[in-house]
A and B are shown apart, each in its own frame.
Chain A
């Protein structure tokens, strides 16, 4: 990843100095070693701020929406999962491909900060990728952690180590291999009894704060006016209660159905660790089963099962 960082900085400096883009959206170091943050590099001298390390999980494509209506071009750093969002944004008519320069990252997988904190027994650590795994360092200690055991949850079922769309690739291509079953947990939940399923989800949604971080982080949530912001009519009660919390998550899942690219951001940003991916993955599984659809954003153009009609579509209810 150190090499990727160097390539990234060089390329960003080149793009900005040459006037090919006005802004580079990438990752930078956070206020403490265990954090990274989005950075918005608008001058070649600032290209040094760009990094790529095992904490660079955020899907930065969401920020494109802030700049696409302004003149000029922006460059965005995208991993494989993030790049699916680019394709999907184009399919949704949300993005003109000319507007973005994609700095593609071949990503071997990121580290789960919660697991790292458990390994170190504290939160003030820093982590680097090494060929054999994640090198974790903290005051007074260090460990080399086996990659497989400390990957972020979403990375364990990575479908695209290499971006599916990009203008330049900043690392070495990574062999994709077979993806473990992304729907294993969905199947586990499906195998419970209805009462158990209800209890499982009720317990999780009971702690939902309705902070809307999941919606705000999601690159598929592009509505200018979100249904949940509209007070009249109040489609879903803004009161926090089991009924409205359930309704919020089900409605949002349906609104992004067919457009969710399984980037895992909703899950990652939740402050109370609700595994929201298992809702979106249920829909992704049904789309795969019912329509044979690959993960949205895998290619562009792509078949859009929920936006098109074929005579062969399953018709269960009529």
Chain B
């Protein structure tokens, strides 16, 4: 991400509401909302008062803003002898507020998938039109392990505007022209920062790192995973896996999708791009009827190796950002940090 003249300064709590008021009123604000006991989701917010700041992280990642669960990418009108195609309306410019550093890193992790040699115009467009406002963490969650991947929980470069809580307000850094624009439009002016941002970042990263409940050392896990590909460990682990899509759907870096064409009786219809999960039974089912991942063991192994090995070997980026959501949400306690420890343990 290119950074223009970086602007840094502090704002107060009321300033934050003012910063978001415009986008909220225009129906362009997406922010964390407490939806049910124990559930925080990113959702459109019309009233800045409805968003919550009392969260470590959301239950489902905000990747759906750039990569929607279901996205119509093409439509056609029916009835005539020729196919009358149309493109769906342009996505709306959005302000996505409250994205934690692990989820910000996930944007970079997904860039080579969607923006690499075969660019995805839908992701690209939403990325261009979305202003991402990051929010640094003040405490690690019970399942977080971002620092294990070298990610700082305090700030990340992917945000257009990066907020770091400094009681009683926020340190604000604009990291892109979009961030500048959001600031300028809101009319919020920055006060001088008390501490040099880089210094604050370093200090707080060290402080927070010490408070993580548990941290893994992933060094060597990629090699371990490769060596242990045929080990019975995977079958044993998969015994309890339900084969649902929870881990893939809450994850900020999972990106597999299906393309589905649907036609109504009148001939109209559309092509949709929807999330898919490698845990689903038919994920690799081929037209011949053969399924190279016939049981949950192969499918579970695939997901874990994708996070711990394949993404790195293919793109040079870690596939997991340590957000811990899969650990929190898995109904049968399949814990990726435990898998890392197990794999490394089996190599000694």
Residues of A within 8 A of B (CB): 30-32, 34-40, 58, 62-63, 66, 114, 117-118, 122-124, 207, 209-213, 215-217, 229, 231, 234, 237-241, 268-269, 271-273
Q: Say yes or no for B210: interface residue by CB 8 A criterion.
A: no
Scoring A37, A38, A213 by chain B CB atoms within 10 A of each residue's CB, the highest score goes to: A213
Whole-angstrom CA separation of A40 from B213 in the bound complex: 28
A82 smallest CB distance to B (angstroms): 15
Query: Is B262 in contact with A240, judged by CB distance below 8 angstroms?
Result: no
Q: What's the dominant secondary structure at chain A's contact region?
A: loop
Which residues of chain B come closer than 8 Å to A35, judged between CB atoms? 333, 335
Which partner residue on chain A sits nearest B338 by CB separation?
Answer: A31
Residue of B nearest to A203 (CB): B35
Interface residues of B in 247-291 (CB under 8 A from A): 249-250, 258, 260, 262, 272, 274-275, 277, 280-282
Chain B residues with CB below 8 A from A114, complex form:
37-38
Q: Point out the residues of chain B lying under 8 angstroms from A213, CB to CB.
A: 242, 244-246, 331
* Nearest opposing residue in chain B for A67, CB measure: B239
**Which of A37, A40, A215, A217 is close to B333, meaning CB atoms less than 8 Å apart?**
A37
Q: A211-B249, A239-B272, A240-B274 are in contact. Are A40 and B281 (CB under 8 A)?
A: no
Evaluate contact between A229 and B142: CB separation under 8 angstroms: no
User: Given the complex of chains A and B, what is the CA–CA distance between A122 and B139 in angstroms?
Assistant: 12
Which residues of chain A come closer than 8 Å to B59, judged between CB atoms?
271-272
User: Inside 8 A of B332's CB, which chain A residues have their CB?
Assistant: 37-38, 58
How far apart are the CA atoms of A31 and B342 in the complex, in Å?
12
Please give the distance in Å from A125's CB to the nearest CB on chain B.
10
Please determine whether B262 and A123 come into contact, CB atoms closer than 8 angstroms.
no
- Given A209-B60, A209-B245, A238-B258: A229 and B37 interface contact (C-beta under 8 Å): no
Please count how many residues in chain B sit with their CB below 8 Å of the partner chain's CB atoms: 42
Q: Contact at B239–A268, with CB atoms within 8 Å?
A: no
Shortest beta-carbon distance from B259 to chain A in Å? 11
- Bound: A210/B248 CA distance, A: 12
Chain B residues, Cβ within 8 Å of A58: 331-332
Cβ-defined contact, A118 with B60, below 8 A? no
Which A residues are in CB contact (< 8 Å) with B246?
209, 211, 213, 269, 271
> What separation, in Å, do the CA atoms of A285 and B329 have in the docked complex?
30
Tell me whether B302 is interfacial, beta carbon within 8 Å. Answer: no
Interface residue B199 (Cβ < 8 Å from any Cβ of A): no
Known: A238-B274, A273-B38. A217 touches B240 (CB 8 A): no
Out of B38, B274, B281, which one reaches A229, CB within 8 Å? B281
A211 partner, pick from B37, B141, B244, beta carbons under 8 A: B244
Instruction: Specify which chain A residues have a CB less than 8 angstroms from the CB of B244 in the assembled complex.
Output: 211-213, 215-217, 269
A-binding residues in B (CB < 8 A): 35-39, 41, 59-60, 69-70, 141-143, 213, 236, 239-240, 242-246, 249-250, 258, 260, 262, 272, 274-275, 277, 280-282, 327, 329, 331-333, 335, 337-338
12 contacts across the A-B interface (CB closer than 8 A)? A36-B333, A209-B69, A211-B245, A213-B246, A217-B331, A229-B281, A229-B282, A231-B260, A237-B262, A238-B258, A238-B274, A273-B39
Q: For residue A241, which residues in chain B have a CB less than 8 angstroms away from its CB?
A: 70
- Residues of A near B70 (CB, < 8 A) are 239-241
- Chain B hits for A122, CB < 8 A: 142
The CA-CA distance from A38 to B277 in the complex, in Å, is 23
Shortest distance in angstroms between A301's beta carbon and chain B's nearest beta carbon?
29
Known: A40-B240, A209-B245. A271 touches B250 (CB 8 A): yes
| Contacting residue for B69 out of A37, A216, A229, A240, CB 8 A | A240
A181 to B103 Cα, complex, angstroms: 44
Closest to B272 in A: A239
Determine which of A36, A124, A269 lies in contact with B213 in the assembled complex, contact meaning CB atoms within 8 Å.
Answer: A124
Tell me which residues across on chain B come within 8 A of A123, comparing CB atoms: 141-143
Are B333 and A211 neighbours in the complex by a CB distance under 8 Å?
no
- In the assembled complex, the Cα of A40 lies from the Cα of B296 at a distance in Å of 15
Minimal beta-carbon separation of B59 from chain A (angstroms): 6
Give the residues in chain A near B280, CB-CB below 8 Å: 212, 229
- Do A38 and B338 touch across chains, with their CB atoms under 8 A apart? no
Q: Are A37 and B240 in contact (CB under 8 A)?
A: yes
- Assembly CA distance A32 to B332 (angstroms): 12
Return chain A residues, CB-CB under 8 Å to B258: 238
Say whether B242 contacts A239, CB under 8 Å.
no
- With the chains together, A233 CA to B246 CA distance in Å? 25
Check A124 against B242 for contact (C-beta < 8 Å).
no
Query: Per a CB cutoff under 8 Å, which of A31, A211, A239 touches B274?
Result: A239
Q: Once the chains are docked, how many angstroms separate the CA of A239 from the CA of B258?
A: 10
Option from A117, A212, A231, A271 in Cβ contact (under 8 Å) with B60: A271
Contact partner of B236 among A40, A124, A211, CB < 8 A?
A40
Chain A residues whose C-beta falls within 8 Å of the C-beta of B272 in the assembled complex: 239
- Measured CA separation A241–B272 after assembly (Å): 12
CA distance in complex: A213, B260 (Å): 22
3 closest A-B pairs by beta carbon, nearest first, are A213-B244, A37-B333, A31-B335
CB-CB nearest in chain A for B35:
A207
Min CB distance A214 to B, Å, is 8
B281 to chain A minimum Cβ distance, whole angstroms, is: 7
A217 interface neighbour in B38, B69, B242, Cβ under 8 Å: B242
How close is A236's CB to chain B, nearest CB, in angstroms? 11
Tell me how far the C-beta of B141 lies from the nearest C-beta in chain A, rounded to whole angstroms.
8
Instruction: Identify B41's interface contact among A32, A66, A207, A269, CB under 8 A.
Output: A207
Residues of B within 8 A of A118 (CB): 37
How long is the Cα–Cα vector from A62 to B335 in the complex, in angstroms?
21
